[in-house]
Amino acid sequence: MRVAVVGAEGGGLLQAVAEDGSPQGPPQPVRDLAAAVAERERADRPRWVWAATAELYPGLLRAGARADRAHDLGLTEAILLAADGRWGEPRSFPAAWARLRGLPVPDDTARPSGAPGAGQPALFDHDLLGLPGPAELLEGVVAVHADQQRRLAGAVPRSERVQGVGAGAREAAEGAGGGWPGGLGLLVAAESAGALAAVEMAAAGLPWRPEVHDAVLTELLGPRPRAGAVPQRLADLAARVGAAFGLPRLNPDSPAQVLRAFANAGTPLPSTRSHVLRGVDHPAVPLLLAYKELSRLHATYGWSWLDAWVAGGRFRPEYVPGGVVSGRWATRGGGALQIPHALRRAVVADPGWTFVVADASQLEPRVLAALSGDDGLARAAAGGDLYAALAADAFGGDRARAKTALLAAMYGGDVGQLMTVLRRRFPAAVGYVEAAARTGEEGGLVRSRLGRTCPPPSTAWLAATEAAGGLGPDAEAVPRGRRAARDRGRFTRNFVVQASAADWALVLLAAVRRRLAGEAGQLVFFQHDEVVVHCPRDDADRVAAEVRDAAAESGRLVFGDTAVRFPLSVAVVDCYADAK
């Protein structure tokens, strides 16, 4: 059962719709939207259909109305447009409704999905959509949902919609989501479930001890400086860097000054990137590396971050589900997806509670094994350490060489003889990513296991590759075009694996959320292939078992009948830093 919902001043409107989106009875006005949603949730457990989870659900949740399932029109529109190769078109609910009505389509930048006010009827640009009130807005929600259900039901096998693929690349496209029954429907459901989880995690918040955070910063940077001043540790390092070059006024934050200093010292460098500096023998190098690391910590997670993002003992990330083209999440500031290990010491469970931290082990190589159906790689992925098994099978027990070869296969790279060994022993796995790379080089599209579609090539890419095939006077056109083709091939080679890993992680998140419904435990953190649950200490073993079961379920749902296992490393800890 599905129920379309819109909010309005003083209440809202509900309307039951069938699975195909057709209305099932008239709209129902309600005075208290949260109370009506909570009552309907208890009675029927419907799938709620609304314009944008990020805008309507936080208010409902604050009022005590938790939604079990949803269909987010904006997120679904983005998936469907990409599947049709229409990446550049606006994807918000207002854009989808305007397209249906043949009206001018508003640009997403005018009101981005998730921005304050998006999805709220009182704040829509009525002149763009011709929506004078909540009743017409509900009509739009119902119409867009019905159109999306029609498009999902009528989706042809993905391989038929991939442009510019040869036979080998077509096999990769079919394996990467095409032909898996209900793949796109599962992706849409998981994306909307992820949006619900994102709101709930922001509401729950990640326990964060400000005093511990301050102590870590003081330990690494010195006492908190006055506003606008540089921490003492950074000032000392800057002075020592300058002294190492004999330039007391050198600014370590200026790449131009640092490069000029190295050149004057007889060591010209192409950049000041850390990996470049590590290859240089100069007394300033360790000082510069320490300065860069601490400067980054201060700028990104220093005292200003603490003041802005932690309140009431909680850090509340603002997640953007599907914010990266591969389906991985992004954030609107706060850096939730890359918290430094040192600051994880500030993430401490409440008294009587603990964390269950679970992250997937060697996820992307296992995903490649399941995608490609390579029997040899699947056997290696059936146990614990995939790289060790791979080394024993093909690389004389050398785990490091096995890992290097497999990562090169997934991400692109020249590893010579190692790739020859990998190609000979695991032809289906290597052939899968190489076919995806050829598709990208030819300008085609590839898809994840559940059907998330990569962006098409840019206009600049098309111009560069077309020029490479001409006979014009530009001597650089051919090598430039070939470089562009290779770069896109590396992107699509990785996309089929990384996006499919994101499919699995998203389904995992949805499965964990469903299993925790009604329990004391709370999902409080998610990044890429890791989930963190905050729960009463007495419930930790049960929660850990549920998370492991959710991982097994996700493997079955996304990859079907496969010998590949997707084990989770699960730790029960009182401090997040102790999990790894």
pLDDT at position 470: 60
Average pLDDT, the chain: 89
pLDDT beyond 90 at 167 = no
DSSP letter at 160 equals G
Cα separation of 444 and 466, whole Å?
14
Cα separation of 244 and 364, whole Å?
43
End-to-end CA distance of the chain, in Å?
43
Closest listed residue to residue 553, CA positions, set 522, 507, 517: 507
Specify burial of residue 315 (Cβ count, 10 A radius: 0-12, 13-18, 19+): buried
Closest listed residue to residue 54, CA positions, set 89, 21, 23, 92: 92
pLDDT at position 118: 38
pLDDT beyond 50 at 298 = yes
pLDDT beyond 50 at 364 = yes
- List C-alpha distances in Å: 45 to 30, 40, 197, 326: 18, 7, 17, 31
The amino acid present at 400, given as its one-letter code, is: A
For β-strands 353-360 and 319-320, DSSP reports them as unpaired
Backbone phi, then psi, for 36, in 5-degree steps? -65, -40
pLDDT beyond 70 at 119 = no
pLDDT at position 466: 84
Mean pLDDT value of segment 470-488 = 79
Q: Of the ranges 106-120, 308-322, 383-397, which is most confident?
A: 308-322
DSSP letter at 130 equals T
Residues 496, 498, 499, 501, CA torsion sign? positive
Coil, strand, or helix at residue 493?
A: helix
Which residues have a Cβ under 8 Å from the Cβ of 404 and sit 6 or more positions away?
Answer: 415, 418
| Cβ(450)–Cβ(186) below 8 Å | yes
pLDDT beyond 70 at 9 = yes
- Could you tell me the two tokens for 415? 């590893």
| Cβ(441)–Cβ(172) below 8 Å | no
pLDDT beyond 60 at 465 = yes
Cα separation of 11 and 7, whole Å?
6
pLDDT at position 115: 38
pLDDT at position 138: 96
Closest listed residue to residue 410, CA positions, set 329, 495, 469: 495
Q: What pTM, to 2 d.p., does this model score?
A: 0.90
Residue 141: count other Cβ atoms within 10 Å of its Cβ.
26
Mean pLDDT value of segment 471-487 = 79
pLDDT digits (tens, 9 = 90+) for 170-196: 333 333 333 334 589 999 999 999 999
pLDDT digits (tens, 9 = 90+) for 410-448: 988 777 788 888 888 999 999 999 999 999 999 999 999
Cα separation of 250 and 258, whole Å?
7
Proportion of the chain above pLDDT 90, given as a percent: 74
For β-strands 353-360 and 206-207, DSSP reports them as unpaired
Q: Give the DSSP letter string of 400-414.
A: HHHHHHHHHHHH---
How far does CA 294 lie from the centroid of its chain?
27
The amino acid present at 104, given as its one-letter code, is: P
| Cβ(565)–Cβ(366) below 8 Å | yes
For β-strands 69-72 and 47-50, DSSP reports them as parallel
Which residues have a Cβ under 8 Å from the Cβ of 266 and sit 6 or more positions away?
Answer: none
- Could you tell me the two tokens for 359? 């992250």
pLDDT at position 480: 87
Q: Which residue has the higher pLDDT, 204 or 361?
A: 204
